[in-house]
Chain A
Amino acid sequence: MSEQRLRELLAGVEVPAAAAAERRGRAVVEAAFAERLAAGAPRRSRPARLPRLAIGVALATLVAALLLSPAGAAVRDWVGEVFDGGGTGLREIPGGGRLLVQSEGGPWVVAADGSRRLLGNYEEATWSPHGLFLAVVSGRTLTAVEPNGTPRWSLTAARPVRGPRWSPSGYEIAYRSGSSLRVTGADNTGDRRIAARVAAVSPAWSPLRAPQLAYLGADGRLRIAASANGEVLAMAPALPALAAIEWSELDAGYGLLLEVGAAALRVRQTVVGKLAGATILGPPRRLALPGGAVELRDAALSPDGRAVAALVLVDGPRGARSAVRLIDTRDGTSHRLYSVAGDGLAELAWSPDGSHLLVAAPRRDEWLFLRRGPHEGRSFDGIAAAFSPGRVANAFPTVEGWCCREAGG
């Protein structure tokens, strides 16, 4: 074979989805460039433009990478037209719904217009499925409250309460008390133990209308149990160093269970068996993280179970970078959506309808809201102060929930 023929062959190899990769790469690179400008990187001449504008262009650009359909529209067709730096303080929630935000002073409910209310001095909180109530935790007490903070009932457990999770049906609340897993009725009746020894990982309710929940046993095994009596219906080895379990509903009665480890992600399809009504766990599939990933900071399963957003710390040629990746749970392909130097990103959250992704950037004191469909992205800074009124040391808050998929009900 001649060298000329080899050149022709090499140049003729089709790189899969090359155009989409080029668009995504452009978005990531332009975002990094804008970030560099905003950070005041040394320049040989000409002063920097307004940092917020640079960040804005970066945001608007990276949102292009979120477009899942290969529309092919040039990024610049809309950059500059649609970006809106949201400004200081959260004035609205792009994507709608209500946020549940945990601060040093307790959990806050944030309405769609950005107005917020501190629920009280609670350590943890979780939404009911339709956002009519919240379950909040203080010491050994589990309390159901209304979104305006009015308590409805309280339950005092033998040991400190952690990780409350309201069932999708609305009828039950699971929580850990000491090393045990318990479930109580949402009307504060029928409190019962489900498992005696569990790991310090919050359980996940089945999204398939089955009164069952997944939890990590103290022996490192993943279990599916009936919430009525704790009967174990399925069991499998869990991912080592499991940090979180999430469970979303796919189409046609199938679910997808996500295991988030310290440096790995794994999914299993689930289905409710027709005869016994027990959840059947499919075989695990590992979702690949990029080479050089040194830490998996956070991961979130989209409400439709089709994608996992992963926040990873990656060793780069010039030091570590934080990167947000979107991984398709069907075929495991993934794309980097956003990347910043250092470890500046902290957590991710999906909007209830899966249209937006919230990315927390504590070092910039910002939340970034990225929209999938129409080309919009917004950033809001001053987040720490907004949730720490009157405090000097403003710790950056965490997002505990984004409610709700359906309005009211």
Chain B
Amino acid sequence: MRADSGELERAGGNEPPPAREERRLIREAQRGSASALADLYTAHWRRAHRAAYLVVHDAAAAEDVAQDAFLAAVDALDRFDRRRPFGPWLHRIVINRAIDWSRRESLRRRIVDEAGELEQRAGGDARTGADLGTDLMTALAALPVEQRAIVVLRHLLEYTPGEIAAMLELPRGTVNSRLRRALDRLGSALEGGR
């Protein structure tokens, strides 16, 4: 499920600890060890934060989404089954909350547009020049959020289509078709623009 360590993994964030070490950290955190929790945070934050950002395209929202996922982890720590890997559980929360945020934001924008509201919305605006500073971000932003999420799960977090289907509670065929369409559109956007 996970790529070998290397430049790509390090660029995406800290590498999660080996399974045995992760189980130990969870066990210690369940016993009240703040340092174990801190180690889990260090191991998983960057990838979770990056994944959220790539879906929501809003730095503040991505921070909130990633924080929420970790807060959910803290809340559920005592019920967490140590035999299960921590990362997929965390990523499932991150991606689903990122999708929820993007849908809400899309709805809010439609309402604001329809109401003809003249207010400027200060900050937190998803489509700033800085946020869309790369061709990839521009191309990702043009995708429906459901496709963006699947691209991130598959090609940043490196889950299989079957795992993604389970995370998003979708048929595997739907995951495959959305992924195919997304990659076609990304390919056209990124290569067509050259």
Whether B37 pairs with A1 at a CB distance below 8 angstroms is: no
Tell me which residues from 146 to 194 in chain B have a Cβ below 8 Å from any Cβ of chain A. 151-152, 155-156, 158, 183, 186-187, 190-191
A17 to B60, alpha carbons, bound, how many Å?
A: 10
Interface size (A, Cβ < 8 Å)? 63
Instruction: For B93, list chain A residues within 8 Å (CB).
Output: 317
Interface string of B22-36 (1 = CB under 8 A from A): 000001011110100
Whether A336 pairs with B50 at a CB distance below 8 angstroms is: no
Whether B49 pairs with A18 at a CB distance below 8 angstroms is: yes
Instruction: For B37, list chain A residues within 8 Å (CB).
Output: 29-30, 33
Whether B134 pairs with A13 at a CB distance below 8 angstroms is: yes
Q: How far is the CB of A317 from chain B (nearest CB, A)?
A: 4
Q: How far is the CB of B143 from chain A (nearest CB, A)?
A: 13
Whether A285 pairs with B105 at a CB distance below 8 angstroms is: no
Whether B121 pairs with A332 at a CB distance below 8 angstroms is: yes
Q: Is A7 interfacial (CB 8 A cutoff)?
A: yes
- If A29-B70, A33-B34, A37-B32 touch, whether A334 touches B123 (CB-CB below 8 Å) is yes
Q: How far is the CB of A9 from chain B (nearest CB, A)?
A: 5
Whether A48 pairs with B186 at a CB distance below 8 angstroms is: no
Q: How far is the CB of B102 from chain A (nearest CB, A)?
A: 9
Whether B64 pairs with A333 at a CB distance below 8 angstroms is: no
A329 to B74, alpha carbons, bound, how many Å?
A: 31
Q: Is B62 interfacial (CB 8 A cutoff)?
A: yes
From A17, A22, A48, contact of B46 by CB (8 A): A22
Tell me which residues from 22 to 53 in chain A have a Cβ below 8 Å from any Cβ of chain B. 22, 24-26, 28-30, 32-34, 36-37, 41-46, 48-49
Q: How far is the CB of B28 from chain A (nearest CB, A)?
A: 10
- Interface residues of B: mostly helix, strand, loop or mixed? helix
Tell me which residues from 110 to 169 in chain B have a Cβ below 8 Å from any Cβ of chain A. 118-125, 130-131, 133-134, 136-137, 151-152, 155-156, 158
Q: Which of B75, B118, B131 has the most CB of A within 10 A?
A: B75
A283 to B118, alpha carbons, bound, how many Å?
A: 9
- If A316-B71, A335-B60 touch, whether A15 touches B130 (CB-CB below 8 Å) is no
A76 to B62, alpha carbons, bound, how many Å?
A: 24
Whether B31 pairs with A331 at a CB distance below 8 angstroms is: no
Interface string of A323-347 (1 = CB under 8 A from B): 0000111011111100101000000
- Interface residues of A: mostly helix, strand, loop or mixed? mixed
Q: Which of B68, B70, B75 has the most CB of A within 10 A?
A: B68
A187 to B159, alpha carbons, bound, how many Å?
A: 74
From B67, B71, B122, B158, contact of A267 by CB (8 A): B122
Instruction: For B91, list chain A residues within 8 Å (CB).
Output: none
Q: How far is the CB of B17 from chain A (nearest CB, A)?
A: 17
Instruction: For B30, list chain A residues within 8 Å (CB).
Output: 43-44
Interface size (B, Cβ < 8 Å)? 68
- If A16-B59, A26-B41, A29-B71 touch, whether A48 touches B123 (CB-CB below 8 Å) is no
Whether A30 pairs with B8 at a CB distance below 8 angstroms is: no
Instruction: For B191, list chain A residues within 8 Å (CB).
Output: 1
Instruction: For B45, list chain A residues within 8 Å (CB).
Output: 22, 25-26
Tell me which residues from 278 to 323 in chain A have a Cβ below 8 Å from any Cβ of chain B. 283-288, 290-292, 316-318, 321
From A22, A335, A341, contact of B49 by CB (8 A): A22
Q: Is B63 interfacial (CB 8 A cutoff)?
A: yes
Whether B67 pairs with A18 at a CB distance below 8 angstroms is: no
Whether B71 pairs with A283 at a CB distance below 8 angstroms is: no
A25 to B12, alpha carbons, bound, how many Å?
A: 18
Instruction: For A284, list chain B residues within 8 Å (CB).
Output: 119-120
Whether A25 pairs with B70 at a CB distance below 8 angstroms is: yes
Interface string of B1-13 (1 = CB under 8 A from A): 0010000110110
Look across to chain A and name the residue whose beta carbon is closest to the beta carbon of B50. Answer: A15
13 A–B pairs (Cβ distance < 8 Å), ordered by A: A6-B151, A10-B50, A11-B9, A15-B50, A22-B49, A25-B70, A290-B61, A291-B104, A316-B72, A316-B75, A317-B72, A317-B93, A331-B122
Residues of chain A whose beta carbon lies under 8 Å from any beta carbon of chain B: 1, 3, 6-18, 21-22, 24-26, 28-30, 32-34, 36-37, 41-46, 48-49, 57, 266-267, 283-288, 290-292, 316-318, 321, 327-329, 331-336, 339, 341
